[in-house]
């Protein structure tokens, strides 16, 4: 019977990740939280028109830790670079079927909630306070402020 040791690390970071996954990476010597920066992605939003965005959600007006912000910015730059060099054309294969999509990327955005819940919170989008109506427009790609890649 295989046994695994329990992680001795009890830092605050355990509150922010899938606890089992995080402990497993430590227990199996994959990395120490000081030199392996694991962060989750809270939301990927795509509509039928292939508009696409990534979102990090922080409750209680938290801001991303520096390593998480770096991860977000690196991923954002990779997407922007790809979109610029392919004009948004993406070729994929799903269930053996080849598909071609023309994607517009709307960035890796930070959504901060003022409280622990959406229902009792005010919102900040990339550092700017916005209304729930404006958030709805951004999430449904109906905002008049088009910040997509490739540009319109």
The pLDDT confidence band at residue 37, using thresholds 50, 70 and 90, is confident
CA 128 to CA 110: how far, in whole Å? Answer: 10
In the chain, where the domains are located: 1-38, 43-139
Region 121-139 average pLDDT: 95
| Residue 118 vs residue 103, higher pLDDT | 103
118 falls in which pLDDT band (50, 70, 90)? confident
Closest among 102, 114, 109 to 145, alpha carbons compared: 109
Q: Tokens 């023309």 belong to which residue?
A: 102
- Ranking 27-31, 45-49, 76-80, 115-119 by mean pLDDT, the lowest is 27-31
For residue 146, the model assigns a pLDDT of: 73
What pLDDT band is residue 106 in, cutting at 50, 70 and 90?
very high
Percentage helix, strand, coil, to 5, in the chain? 30, 25, 45
pLDDT at 35: 75
The model's pTM: 0.80
Q: Say if residue 1's pLDDT is above 70.
A: no
How many CB atoms neighbour CB 151 within 10 A?
A: 9
């Amino acid at each position: 019977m295989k046994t695994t040791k329990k992680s001795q690390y009890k830092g605050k970071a355990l509150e922010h990740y899938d606890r089992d996954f995080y402990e497993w990476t430590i227990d199996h010597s994959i990395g120490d939280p000081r030199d392996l920066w694991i962060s989750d992605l809270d939301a990927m939003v795509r509509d039928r028109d292939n508009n696409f965005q990534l979102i990090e959600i922080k409750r209680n007006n938290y801001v991303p830790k520096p390593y998480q912000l770096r991860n977000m910015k690196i991923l954002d730059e990779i997407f922007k670079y790809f979109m610029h060099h392919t004009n948004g054309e993406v070729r994929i294969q799903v269930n053996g079927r080849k598909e071609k999509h023309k994607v517009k990327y709307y960035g890796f955005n930070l959504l901060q909630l003022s409280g622990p819940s959406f229902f009792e919170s005010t919102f900040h989008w990339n550092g700017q306070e916005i209304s729930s109506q404006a958030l709805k427009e951004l999430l449904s790609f109906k905002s008049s402020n088009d910040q997509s890649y490739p540009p319109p």
